[in-house]
Structure 1
C-alpha cells in the first residue's frame, strides 16, 4: 500500500509540475495565413439613402469574384452595432479582399473586370477609402 501511495504522489507531483510549466509559458501556435494580403475598401454613396445605388455597387463588387487572384471576397454594409466614438458608420458598402501575395493584389488593380467595375459604378460613390495590409506575423 505504501508503494501505491508513493506512486500516486509521484505521478500527481509530475502532473502538477507539467501543468505549472504549461501555465507559466503558454504555447500559442497560430497557423500562418494562407492569404496574408488584405485589401479593405469603404464606399460612401453620392445618394446616401439610395438602396438602389447601394445594391448596384454590391452587384458590381460581386463580379470581382471572377478574378482568380482574389482568394476571398467579403462584401458588407454598415452593421447596427453600438454607437461609440471609435466606430465610423458613415460609409455605405465595403469590400474585404484577401490575396496570396502583393503581386496578386497589384495585378487585381489593372484587371479588366476591376476596371469595368470602376467604369460602371464610380458614378455612384462620392468617396472611397482603401486600407491595404499584410500579416505582421
Structure 2
C-alpha cells in the first residue's frame, strides 16, 4: 500500500471511528417518558449575597437525592445569561426533581429526609415557589 493510500485509509478509519463515537454519545430518541413527573422549586435566599448560605442550601437540596422515589435531581444557581424581559433571575437556588409517578412525588413530600431538609434549611430562604408538571 502506498504512503498516500495508507494515509487516506487511516484518515477515513479515524473519521468513521469518531462518527461512531459521536453517534453513541447521543441520547436515545426513545419516546418513552421515563420520569414524567417534574418538581421544580425556586428558592429566594434571606441573604442573597451570602455564598455560604447559598452553598448550605445547595448541600441541603442534594441530600434529597437519597429519597428512594427521586429518579433524578438537578441543583442550580442563577446563570449569567443575557438579561431579557422574560427571564427571572431574582431567585438564588433551584432544584429540579424527576419522579416516575405521582405516588413517588407524594412519598417524597412526607419523607423524613425531605422533612429534615425543611427543618435544617428553611431558615436560609425567604420565599419558595414550586412548579409541578407532568410530561405530555
Under a length normalisation based on structure 1, what TM-score does the superposition of the two structures give? 0.77
CA distance in structure 1 between the aligned counterparts of 2:33 and 2:71, rounded to whole angstroms: 12
RMSD: 1.0
Deviation at 1:30, TM superposition (A): 5.7
1:39-118 correspondence runs (5 A): 39-118=39-118
2:35 is matched with 35
CA distance in structure 2 between the aligned counterparts of 1:79 and 1:32, rounded to whole angstroms: 30
Task: List gaps (5 residues or longer) in structure 1.
Answer: 1-28
Deviation at 1:115, TM superposition (A): 0.2
Deviations 1:40-74 (A, max 9, x none): 00000001100000000001011111101000000
What count of residue pairs does the alignment treat as equivalent? 108
Task: List gaps (5 residues or longer) in structure 2.
Answer: 1-28
Under a length normalisation based on structure 2, what TM-score does the superposition of the two structures give? 0.78
Deviations 1:70-124 (A, max 9, x none): 0000000000101000000000000000000001001100000000000000000
User: Any idea what SS the aligned residue of 2:41 has?
Assistant: strand
CA distance in structure 2 between the aligned counterparts of 1:109 and 1:54, rounded to whole angstroms: 22
Larger Rg: 1
2:15 is matched with none
